[in-house]
Amino acid sequence: MNVITGLLVATIRMSTPLMLGALGEVFVERTGVMNIAIEGIFLMGAWGGFVGAYLTGKLWAGFLFAILVGIFCGAIYGYFTIKLKQHQIVTGVAINILTVGLGLFLYQLLFGIPLLPLTVEPLKDISIPFLSDIPIIGSALFSQNILTYLAVVLVAVGYWVLFKTPLGLIIRSTGENPEAVDVAGINVERIRFITVLGSSALDGLAGAFYSIGFLGLYTNEIIGGRGWIAFAICFLGNWDPLGILIGSLIFGFAEGLSVVLLTSNFKLIPNEFLIAFPYILTIVATIARRQFNVPAFLGKPYIKERG
Amino acid sequence: MKKNNRDESITVKSELYVKVEDNNFLLNFLPVFSVLFGLLLSGLMMLLLGHNPLIVYSNMLNYAFRDIYNIADIFAKATPLILTGLAFGFAFRASLFNIGAQGQFYIGAVLAVGFALKLSSFPMVLVLFICFTMSLVGGSLWAAFIGYVKARFNANEFLVSMMLTYVAIAVMNFLLGGLLKETKGEYPQTDVIPESGWLPSLIPHTRLHWGFVLALLVALIAYLILWKTSLGYKIRMVGFNRDAARYAGINVEKIFVIVFFISGAFAGIAGFTEVNGMQHMLIEHFNPLIGAEGIGIAILGGAHPLGIVLSAFLFGALKVGGNLVVQTSRIPASIIGITEGLVILSVIFSYFIRDKLIILRSKKKLVSKERKRL
């Protein structure tokens, strides 16, 4: 029983940042822009979260700083891809390369090269009284940290905004038919840019979840492709907040399973396979999943006709 | 009609290699300017650390070109970068994104080290030939899988290629922890391969080996395939306009698989040159950024084999000079990565400027032509 509870707790915990990242990605891709820089923004968010929390001693400052760092990276990405209309994949890859060096550089700039990794006290779990005492599922669902609750709420709000409000209609139309949006008098580039900033803020928060949400430290390998997995979940969830809720839980389970098995004495499967499991699952899911909600103008810059 | 116009402008804009029709001095030297701009930006980062960037850069140059050993090292460092750059650039010509060269490189390296260790009694030529072939085949099959799922299931190729990199790392770490682990059994690394598996050095008493010549040959082959064969014509056609290529009767799906196969072969060969020419063993976390740097080099080189070779030399010089500067001063080693990233970003920025300049000039020409007619 203990193992199952542990697995459920780990599942929900590991799916939190994926949910945040994938939700941002859904919004931005609905406007027709792929945020390829997601992996790098996760990393910078992890860095920002740790630095903010370590220097001020307050976790909320860390999360705030992570969001700001995320927005800053998003602004660079948005400027290159939306304003300058450069290739999204190429720009995203360039930013990802840059952040790998930058994360380490800025860490060493502030702290030198410490012998032991510096740590902060990570975010505490909030147990909801009575509900968290339910056997097996109680602590998994009702004894998580505040970001997990926030992520679930944001997904629900995201679904409502995207499908039930005029703003959501504008966002979806921008990716399906930018010309029509333009003719209706709405600035396509502005909508896209703001959405990129918003999604990058979520990515920064998601990155900070890894550094100060539960580990309490920063290393340059802390993200290790989780940004790409969030990116994949957006595709696999069919650009729908509810789809990504399910997708994040599946990948959270895959990661939770490998974490639980790695820490247990179960030695039948090699560790490396357990580590590779979420990535293999992504490949299998990418191959198996039929995609039918692809925004028509995904990845294409909008060039206004003149004259 | 109007719609068609817009679509065209999008395809032209999204390509890195807009054809430069007039030979303007400024346009041709734009990549050089953008490299300098990138260096300027990372100089600002050094100022943040309290170092004078001018001194750092002049030290870098001095170190990189200090003696024949260091100069040879530039080309030795450039060797695998040429190959991973070609891996990305070749697929990019078909508008495909192979961002998993790192994984293909690891698979090639694992196979090369494995065969070099097992075949120690064989003659040198044979060992090298087998290692080369196996790393080539390993890398290309690993990548061909990406092309296959792209062709068969319309799977997103850059997602699959990225994820396969993490799988390749796990495969390598698994083998380093077991089958290929050193006889002492202490660290996750292999034994040094017997000398029969070493690529002979090109210039004595330096680290430059024949793998460099091999990389240049591969670049030449990539050029010949792309511009001198009908296959290359088809590949570029798929890259320019996939639908048009399909209507012209090209089997686009087959091209996907072939392109990834060739692209993976390039990255796999990089594993061979690194193991048999440079390191002579395999260590965990071995060259972890070589795939990403290859992408940067391909972008910097405009996805052209010649451009890729030259950009790889630049990155090689940055590495050799940078490493020595880092060792002799208190600047963190990560500054080299930042410099590379900023250079790539400023190159992307220069593509924007180039597009603008080209449009401006063609407009001017049009105006003067119209005036003459009037």
Return the residue in B8, B49, B167, B366 with the most chain A beta carbons within 10 A, the one to mutate for interface testing.
B167
Whether residue A141 is predicted with pLDDT greater than 90 in this model: the reply is: no
- For B283, the token pair is 């260590």
Q: How many CB pairs under 8 A join A and B?
A: 151
Residue A301 has its nearest CB partner, among B13, B154, B338, at: B13
- For B219, the token pair is 């670049």
Tell me how far apart the alpha carbons of residues A282 and A279 are, in angstroms, rounded to a whole number. Answer: 5
Tell me how far apart the alpha carbons of residues A210 and B30 are, in angstroms, rounded to a whole number. Answer: 41
Return the residue in B242, B311, B326, B334 with the most chain A beta carbons within 10 A, the one to mutate for interface testing.
B334
Phi, psi of B322 (to 5 degrees): -60, -45
Whether residue A135 is predicted with pLDDT greater than 90 in this model: the reply is: no
CA neighbor of B330 nearest in space, from A118, A220, A112, A99: A112
- For B310, the token pair is 């030259």
**Measured between CA atoms, how close is A76 to chain B, in angstroms?**
10
By CB neighbour count within 10 A (0-12 exposed, 13-18 middle, 19+ buried), where does A248 fall?
buried
Whole-complex ipTM: 0.84
pLDDT of A187 reads 92
Cβ pair A99:B174 closer than 8 A: no
pLDDT of B212 reads 96
Are the C-beta atoms of B39 and B343 separated by less than 8 Å?
yes
What is the arithmetic mean of pLDDT over A66-88? 93
Cβ pair A286:B159 closer than 8 A: yes
Give residues with Cβ within 8 angstroms of A49, minimum separation 6: A62, A63, A65, A66, A204, A207, A208, A209, A211, A212, A213
- Give the DSSP letter of residue A129: T
The 10s digit of each residue's pLDDT in A150-169 is 999 999 999 999 999 999 99
Residue B9 has its nearest CB partner, among A272, A286, A303, at: A303
Tell me how far apart the alpha carbons of residues A84 and A78 are, in angstroms, rounded to a whole number. Answer: 9
**Buried residues in B54-91 as b, exposed as e (16+ CB within 10 A):** eebbebbeebbeeeeebbbbbbbbbbbbbbbbbbbbbb
**Measured between CA atoms, how close is A48 to chain B, in angstroms?**
17
- The residues spanned by each domain of chain A are 8-123+145-288
The Cβ of residue A212 has, within 10 Å, a number of other Cβ atoms equal to: 29
Residue B344 has its nearest CB partner, among A89, A97, A301, at: A97
Please report, rounded to a whole number, the percentage of residues in chain A having pLDDT higher than 70: 92
- For B184, the token pair is 């002492």
pLDDT of A139 reads 67
Contacts of B99 in chain A (CB under 8 A): 93
Cβ pair B341:A102 closer than 8 A: yes
> How large is the angle between the packed helices B53-64 and B68-93, nearest 10 degrees?
100
Phi, psi of A126 (to 5 degrees): -110, 120
Contacts of A287 in chain B (CB under 8 A): 149, 153, 155, 160
Residue A157 host element (H or E): helix A146-164
Signed CA dihedral, A170, A176, A181, A182: sign only: positive
Cβ pair A94:B345 closer than 8 A: yes
Tell me how far apart the alpha carbons of residues A166 and A156 are, in angstroms, rounded to a whole number. Answer: 17
Chain A residue whose CA is closest to B156:
A286
Return the residue in B14, B56, B165 with the most chain A beta carbons within 10 A, the one to mutate for interface testing.
B14
Are the C-beta atoms of B274 and B109 separated by less than 8 Å?
yes
Cβ pair B156:A235 closer than 8 A: yes
Are the C-beta atoms of A89 and A34 separated by less than 8 Å?
yes
Contacts of A96 in chain B (CB under 8 A): 292
End-to-end CA distance of chain A: 70
C-alpha of B92 from chain center:
11
Three-class DSSP category at B276: helix
Contacts of A235 in chain B (CB under 8 A): 156, 159
Please name every residue paired with A127 in a beta bridge, in sequence order, or none if there are none.
A143
Whether residue A198 is predicted with pLDDT greater than 60 in this model: the reply is: yes
Chain B residue whose CA is closest to A226:
B163
Per-residue pLDDT of chain B (374 residues; tens, 9 = 90+): 333 433 333 343 344 444 444 456 666 678 888 889 989 998 988 888 788 889 889 988 888 888 899 999 999 999 999 999 999 999 999 999 999 999 999 999 999 999 999 888 888 899 999 999 999 999 999 999 999 999 998 888 888 998 999 999 999 999 998 888 888 888 888 999 988 889 999 888 889 999 999 999 999 999 999 999 999 999 999 999 999 999 999 999 999 999 999 999 999 999 999 999 999 999 988 888 899 889 989 988 888 999 999 999 999 998 898 888 888 887 887 888 888 888 888 888 888 888 888 888 888 888 888 888 87
Cβ pair B341:A101 closer than 8 A: yes
CATH architecture of A8-123+145-288: Orthogonal Bundle (1.10)
Residue B174 has its nearest CB partner, among A113, A270, A305, at: A270
Residue B160 has its nearest CB partner, among A84, A87, A286, at: A286
Cβ pair A97:B155 closer than 8 A: no
Residue B39 host element (H or E): helix B30-48
Q: What is the pTM of this model?
A: 0.87
Cβ pair A109:B49 closer than 8 A: yes
Chain B residue whose CA is closest to A304:
B6
Residue A87 has its nearest CB partner, among B16, B154, B338, at: B16
pLDDT of B7 reads 38
Give residues with Cβ within 8 angstroms of B55, minimum separation 6: none
What is the arithmetic mean of pLDDT over A5-24? 90
Contacts of A218 in chain B (CB under 8 A): none
Residue B372, CB half-sphere, CA atoms under 13 Å: how many? 6
Residue B164 has its nearest CB partner, among A87, A94, A283, at: A283
Three-class DSSP category at A218: coil
End-to-end CA distance of chain B: 28
**Higher pLDDT residue, A291 or B128?**
B128
The 10s digit of each residue's pLDDT in A244-266 is 999 999 889 988 888 888 777 66
pLDDT of A137 reads 67
Cβ pair B16:A90 closer than 8 A: yes
Signed CA dihedral, B155, B156, B161, B164: sign only: negative
The 10s digit of each residue's pLDDT in A94-126 is 898 889 888 888 888 888 777 777 888 887 777
Ranking A13-22, A177-186, B20-29, B173-182 by mean pLDDT, the lowest is B20-29
Please name every residue paired with B189 in a beta bridge, in sequence order, or none if there are none.
B283
- For A89, the token pair is 């994949």
The band of A285, judged by pLDDT with boundaries at 50, 70 and 90, is: confident
**Measured between CA atoms, how close is A74 to chain B, in angstroms?**
14
Phi, psi of B22 (to 5 degrees): -100, 145
Ranking A83-92, A282-291, B305-314 by mean pLDDT, the lowest is A282-291
pLDDT of A136 reads 65
Are the C-beta atoms of A139 and A6 separated by less than 8 Å?
no
- Give the DSSP letter of residue B333: T
pLDDT of B24 reads 62
Three-class DSSP category at A34: coil
Tell me how far apart the alpha carbons of residues A279 and B162 are, in angstroms, rounded to a whole number. Answer: 9
CA neighbor of A303 nearest in space, from B237, B352, B363: B352
Please give the single-letter amino acid code of residue A214.
F
Contacts of A40 in chain B (CB under 8 A): none
Residue A272 has its nearest CB partner, among B48, B158, B174, at: B174
